[in-house]
Amino acid sequence: MGALNHQLLEEGLAVQKTLLGPANGCDKSVWTGGTQSVSPSNEKAPGDGEQESTSWPGSFFHSPLMYWNSDLERLKSDPNLLRTINQRSHEKSAFNLTLTPSTVLAGKMFNGTKLIAADALVISFFYNPNNRADEEWSQRYRNLERMDDWDVYPRSMNDIGSRLYELRYQPMTSHEATILVLCYVLMAVYLLLKLISLKVLKSRLGFGIVVVTEVRLSG
């Protein structure tokens, strides 16, 4: 749960730039399979101002580094990483994707609606089968394998095929919910049996007093 620190984010940015190659920014250009395509004319970072809604027919990426516009200097100068993420979690990236923590982080921990920790950074690459982005990214991935700075799993992209991943927020499984309901039912039955065994229940006033007392003691 310590992914949100400057060192790890800076290393994640280095990996991201290695995979993306020359077109590694969010403001001025995007990777579209071997060529660069001009993004919206507004050169402000996502969240710094309104941008035109743009359709991206080529390839693009989605990354937690976009909270800082994939800019190393902006990341280094940020004194409060969590505040930046929480403030920008409903904004859209240059690729018109909302930067919600559920899509760019794994193992998230929240305090209410505020993110307080995360276990891993999630950088996603999307490509159109009709362009060369897959070849380019795959080659850079193989280059990353040969570098001593990183542990890469699997060691070769030839070991895996296409996979579909689902991001889902589910705080409690159905099995856990069933156990919790059963515990509440048993507690209610126990409380009822205790109340019935008391002589003070002969009057309505006494019954009310006992209910309030037992509930407070149980709390």
Q: What is the pLDDT of residues 95-111, one digit of tens each?
A: 888 999 999 999 899 99
* Domain spans in the chain, listed from the N-terminal domain onward: 6-159, 174-218
Q: What is the pLDDT of residues 64-81, one digit of tens each?
A: 999 998 899 999 999 999
Torsion angles phi and psi, residue 93, rounded to 5 = -75, 180
Beta bridge partners of 36: 31
Instruction: Give the pLDDT band of residue 85 (cuts 50, 70, 90).
Output: very high
60-62 and 36-38 as β-strands: parallel, antiparallel, unpaired? Answer: unpaired
Of 152 and 32, the one with more pLDDT = 152
Mean pLDDT for the stretch of residues 79-93: 93
pTM: 0.59
Query: What is the distance, to the nearest Å, from the Cα of residue 142 to the centroid of all Cα atoms in its chain?
Result: 26
Q: Is the distance from CB of 218 to CB of 191 less than 8 angstroms? A: yes
